[in-house]
Structure 1
């Protein structure tokens, strides 16, 4: 066969095939093999024998829809949510929770070995939740109009078709009550509902935030412009109906975009923020603030980060991608100084406010791009004993890692929400003289494919 000839795939669209699922993909879909070709089947559980219908064929893989479970995996369970298969927000609800934890650990192990080319790293069992339901303190619901009524829920996978819901099993109960009330009130007062296709209408999204410790709640009604018919009336009725609500805010987003929130917010009723706490630290949360969505597991995650930092009280710590200062403030109580770097200016303002609120003075925050600020600090001779970083899903840019190596901290604590980018960056750090000792997966998002990790990385020779 000449090199120009291509091997014909063993499947075609529309063909029904029997496969056995052996693993999970990065989005939670089942992974199987058919005559050597990788087949992705959403809704499959490792150990399932399935009948699947091929939908899309590529050179190295195919995607198929689940037709029938011929022989269920021992780990297959009935989903709690009636729209679990349609919504796509919880792609692992059909897998027993203990099995989810094992699979997430394996996802980390595989990434470290295949992408990071790392061996000998201890990966601990995933730390899960005793009650992995109703854990989210933040919900974003797109709003639509269908069959003469207001609908809201989540987008079906790979589409902008709204799956209407009455209750989400992983959201805080107050968030579900906020959603139900807004749908009813918007329908009663005839608020024009946003149409994504024509970019017309008013109400686009409902965002709910709930303080897990304080019980305070916020409703953010995202509109397509400053006009909001009956907005204040709806806000007052929401406050009267839901006692936990202390804030109802209109957020204005007139841009044709997939980004939920716009730049301008107006208080319709109550306050402009809510408060919540992690451990014994209190934080102010605005409509646009980043705050971990699972506070119970956040305490587990931060506790492990503190343990891995190994602080004695004399260290200078740099906290990269520090957000509103959550990790920074935990670190500050056990070291000499923390320097936090965050590119979102509003988050830095919140970080300063949160430090003052908690009486913590040995921190300072820099508003800027870590890829610019870290090399600048390194060039100025700033040295850190420990660097803690919690980057976005894409991981770190090369200048950040190079600046860390130039500062030569004895220890790096890497908090990650993406095992693939974590593995890639740990592999890069290995080439700069840093050894990954151990990784602790933490299940921040039960019933989803996401896994958070904390890695302890030490400079060779320390």
Structure 2
């Protein structure tokens, strides 16, 4: 005889409201509380707050909630300056006071370092003992927290009627928020959206524009990602726009970027008297003021002398290499992108710096056979992308360079890479936050290691 069992479905919490106390922020700046034996993540909530949230996602190990009401507000809660903050995905923590944003980011790095030390301890000793390391924090690099972003991509999306939405992605979505103004962008780009809406509504063709890149350097520049061939009439519209807004315009057709107006070469100044030229699709730091201070601090921390020979890995356009070259005997810069190596060489020549050479190499693959590796270096600076430099560092430690300065734009890969350096005889001499991306979860960090 068959036995039949009634399966009791899981208790569904979706749509239910709960009142919880926020204990901390997660790595993305999202409030975390405890509810029904699980963590619940509530965007917009801050530590020490009591809030009402609606459960919008239920997983085996956590819930996700939507903030409904703040019952008790945190001392450090502030009113977001941007009218689009609640929906736009560009900023994460505008509702948190600036000084507390820095504290949150510093704590995030400290926790990641501690977590990686636990993992390292388990791997080497088969134990779960937590290694306690006090990080030697220095004063963070800060500057103006608004109107700092000099490069950004403004999205363009069309509905079925061909009407365009112009703005940035919504939180956790590929859909755009229609932006009216953005206080993070440098002026006058912060208030350019109305004019762009008017112009794009007037251009011809079906869904003609993919996005618009903005760059503020020696000259304000717009790069139009054109999905169809630009008509004569549309060209005339953009030329009038350029004149009205005192900017130059380039067109990206997917194959190349060509000037629509008479265009100057793009450049920015660093270290008082060094001019860095770049192409529209080259990487540059988005915060010019912070970049200037970051370079100055790197020069100071390395305590450079005229006898030093410095290796600069992931050197890009020479953002660090050229200021280094002014102070030392010789600089060798290595970069993975051919075009940027050529640009760095040209920047050195234009600034009359003859003691620096640049080479192309994929630094996260084997580079032991390259001749520049065989020189004797007294100091090394690395500034990798978000993916970090673990494979590069695994080779770099063999050179036993006395001082290593690591500039990081991702705390998780920084923590992982740092453990490798610490295990190979380096110690952390200094560490500092770099407030490159105010009001966002993104973190830039500088760390000085010595053998």
Q: TM-score scaled to structure 1, two decimals? A: 0.87
1:142 is the counterpart of 2:155: yes
Residue 442 of structure 1 and its aligned partner are, at CA, apart by 1.1
1:210 is the counterpart of 2:216: yes
Counterpart of 1:448 (choices 406, 420, 440) is 440
Contact persistence 2:394–2:420 (CA under 8 A): no
1:427 corresponds to: 419
Counterpart of 2:140 (choices 122, 126, 149) is 126
Contact persistence 2:278–2:317 (CA under 8 A): no
Q: Gaps (5+ residues) in structure 1? A: 1-7, 194-201, 254-262
1:60 is the counterpart of 2:66: no
1:197 corresponds to: none
Contact persistence 2:204–2:234 (CA under 8 A): no
2:125 corresponds to: none
Contact persistence 1:31–1:40 (CA under 8 A): yes
Residue 275 of structure 1 and its aligned partner are, at CA, apart by 2.1
Residue 249 of structure 1 and its aligned partner are, at CA, apart by 0.6
Partners of 1:32 and 1:378 lie apart in 2 by 55
Contact persistence 1:9–1:59 (CA under 8 A): no
Residue 238 of structure 1 and its aligned partner are, at CA, apart by 2.0
Contact persistence 1:249–1:272 (CA under 8 A): no
Counterpart of 2:320 (choices 297, 317, 327) is 327
1:43 corresponds to: 44
Q: TM-score scaled to structure 2, two decimals? A: 0.89
Q: Deviations over 1:349-405 (max 9, x none)?
A: 22122212222121111122112364334896233211111111121132x112211
Residue 51 of structure 1 and its aligned partner are, at CA, apart by 1.0
Residue 309 of structure 1 and its aligned partner are, at CA, apart by 1.6
Where do 1:186-335 residues align within 5 Å? Answer: 186-193=200-207, 202-211=208-217, 214=218, 216-227=219-230, 230-243=233-246, 245=247, 247-253=248-254, 263-271=255-263, 273-280=265-272, 281-335=274-328
Residue 217 of structure 1 and its aligned partner are, at CA, apart by 0.6
Partners of 1:264 and 1:28 lie apart in 2 by 38
Residue 175 of structure 1 and its aligned partner are, at CA, apart by 1.8
Q: CA 1:379/1:301 → structure 2, altered by over 3 Å: closer, same or farther?
A: closer
Residue 447 of structure 1 and its aligned partner are, at CA, apart by 0.5
Contact persistence 1:191–1:203 (CA under 8 A): no
Larger radius of gyration: 2
Contact persistence 2:28–2:441 (CA under 8 A): yes
1:409 is the counterpart of 2:401: yes
Partners of 2:278 and 2:372 lie apart in 1 by 35
